[in-house]
Structure 1
């Protein structure tokens, strides 16, 4: 009888411990979802800021925004890395969740890199549509000037421009596809995390 009572007490103690662990796991996963919300907000700010920049050309405001967003993304990454190491800790023993967070981190890194690539490409514009600067031209009078950009369009030059445009389009489309793939993978992982939260809440 005594042995039985001991076993019951040990089992109860283990249940309490597991309950504490699952509530800590739950807290971490909820915090992780909040961090993902912060990242989504930072992307929305970045898109808005870039759209404003493309209209106004305000370089310093755009640079300032990029710096702020970089700080925000670094802070989010730092917090997720801390969570990842906690899940790997024997107290949690949730390697599966650590790997899930690591995968999201990798996809977020890829998404950010490709988003920056898209913005740089859009900023530069298609080669055939880039604005011509007249800084080096000779002005004879205010109405007319000798434009150094005027040159005869040969077949070779036309082909070169078309190739440059095709290269630009390919690079842009590839980056856009890469962002879409990263977003899909991140969303899949977030669904897994939401299922995990639901399972822990149901315990």
Structure 2
């Protein structure tokens, strides 16, 4: 009878410890989800800022925004790395969760890189639609100048321009698809995180 009581006490203590560990893991995963929410808000801010820039052309405001966004994303990454290291540590021994966070980090890096690529491409515009600078042109009279950009349109020049446009279009399309793929992968991983939270809360 005494042995049975000891086993019950040990079992109860283990249940309490497991429950505590589960609750802590849930807290950490919720922290991670809040970091992801912050990332989403930062992307929204970047998107709005870029749209404003494309309308206004305010380079300094856009550069300032990019600096702020960089700080935000770096901070988010740092927080996720800290969570990841906790999961692989001796307190939790959850390499699976660390791996999940690592996968999301990888996709987030890809998404950010491709988002920047899209913005660079959109800033530049299609080669055939880019504005030209007339700083090297000769002005004979006010409002009249000999434009160095005026040249005979040949088939070769037209083909070259069409190829440049096609290359631009493909690069933009690839970057957009890459972002979409990254977002899909991130969302799938986030669903796994939510399932894990739900499973731990049931325990």
TM-score between the two structures when normalised by the length of structure 2: 0.98
1:78 aligns with 2:78: yes
Query: What's the CA shift string for 1:49-79, capped at 9, x where partnerless?
Result: 0000011110010000000000000000001
Task: Provide the aligned length of Structure 1 versus Structure 2.
Answer: 203
Match of residue 64 from structure 2: 64
Partner Cα separation in structure 1 for residue 167 and residue 145 of structure 2 = 33
Residue 142 (structure 1) shift = 1.2
1:88 aligns with 2:88: yes
Match of residue 100 from structure 1: 100
1:17 aligns with 2:12: no
Q: Name stretches of at least 5 consecutive residues in structure 1 with no aligned partner.
A: none
Query: What's the CA shift string for 1:7-58, capped at 9, x where partnerless?
Result: 1111111111111100100000111110000000000000000000011110
Match of residue 188 from structure 2: 188
Partner Cα separation in structure 1 for residue 123 and residue 106 of structure 2 = 26
Partner Cα separation in structure 1 for residue 88 and residue 68 of structure 2 = 31
Instruction: For residue 140 of structure 1, give the secondary structure of its aligned residue in structure 2.
Output: strand
Partner Cα separation in structure 2 for residue 67 and residue 184 of structure 1 = 27
Q: Name stretches of at least 5 consecutive residues in structure 2 with no aligned partner.
A: none
Instruction: For residue 145 of structure 1, give the secondary structure of its aligned residue in structure 2.
Output: strand
Match of residue 171 from structure 1: 171
Partner Cα separation in structure 1 for residue 168 and residue 72 of structure 2 = 30
Residue 90 (structure 1) shift = 2.4
Residue 143 (structure 1) shift = 2.9
After TM superposition, the runs of 4+ consecutive aligned structure 1 residues lying more than 4 A away are none
Instruction: For residue 141 of structure 2, give the secondary structure of its aligned residue in structure 1.
Output: coil
Partner Cα separation in structure 1 for residue 174 and residue 26 of structure 2 = 37
Partner Cα separation in structure 1 for residue 125 and residue 29 of structure 2 = 41
